[in-house]
Amino acid sequence: MPRPTAERDPLVYEAGWDEYERLDEWRTLSIETEGLPPVLRAALLLDAWNAIEVLQHRTELGRQLVASLLRRAGTAPAHLPPLNVGLRSVQRERRRAGNQMMRIMVMLEAFTSAAELGMREHPPCPAAA
């Protein structure tokens, strides 16, 4: 990806923050996790997005990219899953745990919560049952 040549405003952006390098690191992890089940891969990639802190601004983009990945994988074929709703159902302290395994487990719990909420709000058609 070509890097912009114009200087960024130091009042808004940290001078040493290389978003392109961080994004490349995240993309490398995305490639390395391609063989994993989609939901586990999504949890790992979202955790990595948060840990790497890819962007100084627009941190929510990571959740949107992961939701898009789930849709592309066929896990949520009709829409982007509302991961934010599920993540809000889990205490912030648990989402920010120091242990990566705990953070991944919490993300999986949040994804389950989002799916359950979606099923309650959009029950299956009676004809499909």
Q: 91-121: per-residue pLDDT in tens?
A: 777 767 778 898 888 888 888 888 887 777 7
pTM over 0.95: no
Q: 18-70: per-residue pLDDT in tens?
A: 788 888 999 999 999 999 999 999 999 999 998 888 877 777 888 888 888 88
Q: In which band, very low, low, confident or very high, does the pLDDT at 74 lie, cut at 50, 70 and 90? A: confident
pLDDT at 3: 58
What are the domain boundaries of the chain? 19-120
Reduced 3-state DSSP string for the chain:
CCCCCCCCCCCCCCCCCCHHHHHHHHHHHHHHCCCCCHHHHHHHHHHHHHHHCCCCCCCCHHHHHHHHHHHHCCCCCCCCCCHHHHHHCCCHHHHCCCCHHHHHHHHHHHHHHHHHHHHHHCCCCHHHC
pLDDT at 128 over 70: no
Q: In which band, very low, low, confident or very high, does the pLDDT at 11 lie, cut at 50, 70 and 90? A: low
Q: What is the mean pLDDT of residues 79-96?
A: 73
